[in-house]
């Protein structure tokens, strides 16, 4: 005997799960914590996310941060270092060697310091918007 079953089709209206706060998730991600619980660690290495949260079990393998954190860090650091360099150049005109000795390390250190928090914020954003595999529906 053949039985008919309704196919399970996911849609936004069927998503009855709780709304996720974007800013809270991004803030938790920026502090390298799980966007879901805010307690577990998001990273197992400098830029490697953990497989899952060690407190609540949230799966992090679904994130697709790719190169966005690096682009955002370039924009942020560029908007800090370049105006300072231009201001110093127009007012004091120090030698190029001195400027390179100051700006290059500052750029490198600021970029390295911001890269992990910005990646955490991007993963938190993806989690809050249920992007990729972070939603309750099928991964896309
Ligand atoms: Zn968690």
pLDDT at 140: 46
| Residues, Cβ < 5 Å to ion ligand 1 | 34, 36-37, 40, 53, 55-56, 58
Query: Ligand 1: distance of its center to the CA of 60 in Å?
Result: 10
Query: Ligand 1: distance of its center to the CA of 113 in Å?
Result: 23
Rounded Cα–Cα distance for residues 140 and 73 (Å)? 27
Query: Ligand 1: distance of its center to the CA of 126 in Å?
Result: 15
Structure tokens at 90: 């127009």
Rounded Cα–Cα distance for residues 97 and 129 (Å)? 46
Strand-pairing partners, residue 41, are 33
pLDDT at 62: 86
Identify the segments of the chain with pLDDT beneath 70.
Answer: 1-17, 136-140
Query: Ligand 1: distance of its center to the CA of 52 in Å?
Result: 8
pLDDT at 23: 97
pTM: predicted TM-score of the whole model, two decimal places = 0.82
pLDDT at 65: 92
DSSP secondary structure letter of residue 48:
P
pLDDT at 3: 62
């Amino acid at each position: 005997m053949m039985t008919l079953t309704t196919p399970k089709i996911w849609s936004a209206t069927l998503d009855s799960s709780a709304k996720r706060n974007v800013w809270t998730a991004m803030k938790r991600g920026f502090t390298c914590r799980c966007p879901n619980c805010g307690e577990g660690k998001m990273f197992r290495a400098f830029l490697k996310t953990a497989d899952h949260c060690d407190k609540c079990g949230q799966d992090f393998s679904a994130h697709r941060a790719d190169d966005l954190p690096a682009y955002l860090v370039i924009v942020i650091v560029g908007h800090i270092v370049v105006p300072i360099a231009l201001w110093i150049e127009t007012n004091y005109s120090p030698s190029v060697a001195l400027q390179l000795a100051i700006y290059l390390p500052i750029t490198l250190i600021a970029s390295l310091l911001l890269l992990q928090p910005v990646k955490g914020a991007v993963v938190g954003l993806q989690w809050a918007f249920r992007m990729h595999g972070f939603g309750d529906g099928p991964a896309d």
